[in-house]
Structure 1
Amino acid sequence: MLKHVRESFLSKHILSASITIITLLLASDIFITYFNHQVMKENILRQNQAENVKLAVSHAIYLIHNADLALRGYAAFEDTTYLPPLRFAIEDKDSIYHTIEQPLLDQYYPLTEFVLLKDSINVYLNECQQMKSLIEEKKYIEVKKWSAQAKGYHLWLQYKRFKNHIDQFQDQVKSDARSEFDTAMQINYWIEAALLMLCVPILVLTAVFAHKQLITSHKLQQIEAQNSQLLCEQKTKLEEMVIQRTQQIQLQNHQLKEQHERIFRQKEQLAIQGEELALQFEALKQSKKEKLQAYARIIQEKTITIETIKQELEKVRKTQVWDMLTDTNFNNLLHARIHTEESWQQFKINFDAIYPNFFAKLRQQYPDVTSAEQRLAALIKLNLSSKECADTLGISIISVRKARYRLRKKLQVETSVSLEDFIQTSF
């Protein structure tokens, strides 16, 4: 299969190359043939031009000869019917000059001799006009003298020399043009022969490859027919597989749909349970918070009691009753203070249950905060006022305010933010 495809590919390229080469050769042949045709056409024009120059030069002497005959006939018979050739010669001389001069200019012929001849012709024709006037005036002696000078003969000799030179030059021009014409024709023949020699093998080669192309194409058609039959069988099998697979997918989709519905119901149940747990957690949190606040109030009350006892002791200390106090009473007072420290520990346990990371985050982020400042921060977290904090800690409100100021400074709280909001949002 690959071999046939490769041969077909090569055949197509060889055919394309052959057609391209033949096209280029034909285009080159057309161009060169056109160029040679132009050369031959130009050479024919040059030959015709040379022949026309020779004819024009001959025509010039005919005009002079006719003018001379007209003048002599008029002198002999005094009949004006002989004068028209003289008039025609004078009228046509300029056109004949142009007919001769322009081709000579195109052929780069030196015009010196032609200019001299032209001047001689003009002088001769002017003298013919003068002789005509003398004849009309019956001055035959002067006419006879002029005729004796044989100026027409001398002009004819001058013309003869010019005519010989022109004939030689024009014959050479014709010869050169003919030679170039023959060369162009020969080149054209050689090109046609070369084109034939090149095109024939290429055409033969093209025919051979075209024949191979036909054979290859026939084989490819057979292979394509076999492939089409094979593809048709494979398509039938594939359609059966697709139908079977589609049924399996539909069954799987049905199973997945049922599984999805079960999962959805389980999610709904879990969501309900989650809501119940959240409500229970909030209730528990609120309960613990209330207990914590109760502990705080107990501590506050105990602290107030201790402060009251201390104040009473200060009063008694200044009297004689101080000596009457027994060690038992003093120990009871000390026991009450120790009981307050235990209450703080119990308060901290309850506080950690509600805000488990409060003290840890506070110590981690601000290690310079003291334990007393930690207690004050915990009470602020419970939204206790400064007075309630003072009663709970057993210090004055002024001391609480100073402690709040130090705590605010250590926590680096901005002036636009309250200490309560900062503690509520940060810990």
Structure 2
Amino acid sequence: MDKKKLLIYAHYYIPDTASTGQLLCELAEGMLKQFDITVICVVPSYLGIIEDKYKTQKYYEENINGVKVLRIRVPEFSKAKKTSRIKNIVAYFFGAIAATFKVEKQDYVFSVSQPPIFGGLLGVWGKWINHAKYIYNIQDFNPEQVIAVGYSRNKLITEIMMIFDKFSCKRSDLIVTVGRDLVETVHKRFRGKKVPNTVMINNWINEKEIYPLPKNQPKVMEFKNNYGLDGKFVIMYSGNIGLYYDLENLIKVIEKFKDAKTSDGRNVSFAFVGAGSILEKLITYKEEHHMDNVVFIPYQAKGDLIYSLNAADIHWCVNAKGIKGVSCPSKYYGVAAVGKPVIGVLESGSEVRCIIENTNSGLCSEPGDYELVEQNINWFLENAGTDKVMEMGNRGRTYILDYLTRDISIAKYTKEILSL
């Protein structure tokens, strides 16, 4: 029997390091037994730079591990400049609309809520053109996210954004969100009336690729040596260094630990692994305040992520105030998979904070409660090297293995799509 055809609109796809691109890659490859899958995405460009080999044609066709990938050429951009980013996003949007005609008729269309608003509209477009069932995967709600972090204070713009995204929700056959608080947001949007068909499926980590390693594992040691972390107590932030994480205020808390040591005598180092729109601000703050124990490290290749995550003793998992029900920090799943405890700066009732508190795999505080953030850091410094800290991390990993593996979540996606 012929497999059903599934079209995925993905702003980014591997080898781009965007978390949604990595996630959608694993989802697509995990559903190949049930579906013939095509992905429409941009040429690799998550950091704003495009390789010369992707600058000569409008479209590029590839096959990656059995998934057909149709890439769209877009302009290079700067993450720090709004107009530059918008130009890039608009180019993807119209390029993807045109690219829809380059693929054969589809049975299902799947789009993700990135880029904001455009991702949902592309899914509606694909549904109309193909007369297909449409699955709208909401990783982040907008304009709620834009409003929460003050990215735009223009009420007219945010109201128009809401009209368009509610339109995408209404036209979907299924909304999949990634947290119980995000399901609540769908109901709030529609005030409990004619709520679109909505389910929650957690994001995941591939526990076969990301798992605990010994501290003296050669690749872990190499990573630590490369960035001056050897022998240090490392508190790490790994992921997008962008607007939605309150990092500009959290680095002021970190400043109080410039000369800190753990109870077992180690110097404390704060590592930021990744890139994003506020990276330069953080670097400038570090330099102006002579914070020698802060180090900035580039994004790691997917195959090396296991080593960087294992190099930390503790990981941050943070969101800015107002992000509850709007976005879910999937970085937690990788942190838990390597068995590391968490300093959570997350609103009560948000998906990841519920998991951390239910499993006692870290210490949490509300965004903006910087005094409690400081207390939580001090607790880890006082208990460094003890069984208390190790057991915290182990509980998080156990929960991942029991409930949040890649196979568990992908099986849920497959079942929900085929039931439409």
More helix per residue:
1
Q: Same fold (TM over 0.5)?
A: no
More strand per residue:
2
TM-score range, shorter chain: under 0.3
Query: TM-score of the superposition, structure 2-length normalised?
Result: 0.21
Which structure has more relative contact order (CA 8 Å, sep 6+)? It is 1
Query: TM-score of the superposition, structure 1-length normalised?
Result: 0.21
